Amino acid sequence: MDVGCGGAGLRRVVGDRFRSYCGLDAVRYEGFPIDAEFQQINLDAGSWGLASREADVVTAVETIEHLENPWGFMRALVDLAKPGGWVVVTTPNQLSVLSLTTVVVKQRFSSFQDGQYPAHRTALLEVDLRRAAAECGLESVEISYSHYGRVPLTPWHYPTALARFFPRALSDNLMIIGRKPTASG
């Protein structure tokens, strides 16, 4: 399940690795594949009215920062995963050099400037994602970074080799992945 799927870009990248794909979003975007399953939902709603415990993998790529209640959203993602299933969430990295420089210069995180509001509502730190994952009972939780980050005050990006050496500081995005416990614990 691809929550906040947009035009199903993730399906084009990893779709051949799964038997089925279901995109969930507030609207069906132009370009969403006609042969893919789609469910229209309000991502800020407390309940989505979908069957629980079905998906092997539940993803939310650059979606959680758009929502009013990221903790409720994380609980809903975990609810969709079957026991032993994976939950994957990506979001802007607020601890990157770019984002921290923007805080000092403009008093706001890089991805949460006036031009991104109201689309980007909630800036989350790595610790917030870890806490939400723990509160939802996810196991084997790992954080990973994109190794792709913009050099502050320039249009340039850091070399990938350098970003791999300093991933938190030089990556514009991060990912948290965790596994829902099996029914037997």
6 belongs to a structural domain: no
Q: Cβ neighbours of residue 69 under 8 Å, at least 6 residues apart?
A: 44
- Number of structural domains the chain divides into: 1
Range of the domain at 97: 42-179
Indicate if the pLDDT at residue 183 is higher than 80: no
82 belongs to a structural domain: yes
Q: Where are the alpha helices (DSSP H) in 2-96?
A: 9-14, 70-80
Instruction: Give the predicted TM-score (pTM) of the model.
Output: 0.94
23 belongs to a structural domain: no
Look up the CATH number of the domain holding residue 62. Answer: 3.40.50.150
Cis peptide before 118 (omega within 30 of 0): yes
Rg over alpha carbons for the chain, rounded to the nearest Å, is 17
142 belongs to a structural domain: yes
Structure tokens at 103: 């805080």
Q: How confident is the model over 1-13, as a mean pLDDT?
A: 95
pLDDT digits 0-9 by tens, 17-37: 999 999 999 999 999 999 999
Instruction: Determine the residue type at 161.
Output: A
Indicate if the pLDDT at residue 185 is higher than 80: no
Helix (H) or strand (E) holding 143: strand 139-145
pLDDT digits 0-9 by tens, 61-85: 999 999 999 999 999 999 999 999 9
72 belongs to a structural domain: yes
Q: What angle do CA 39, 15, 52 make, to 5 degrees?
A: 40
50 belongs to a structural domain: yes
124 belongs to a structural domain: yes
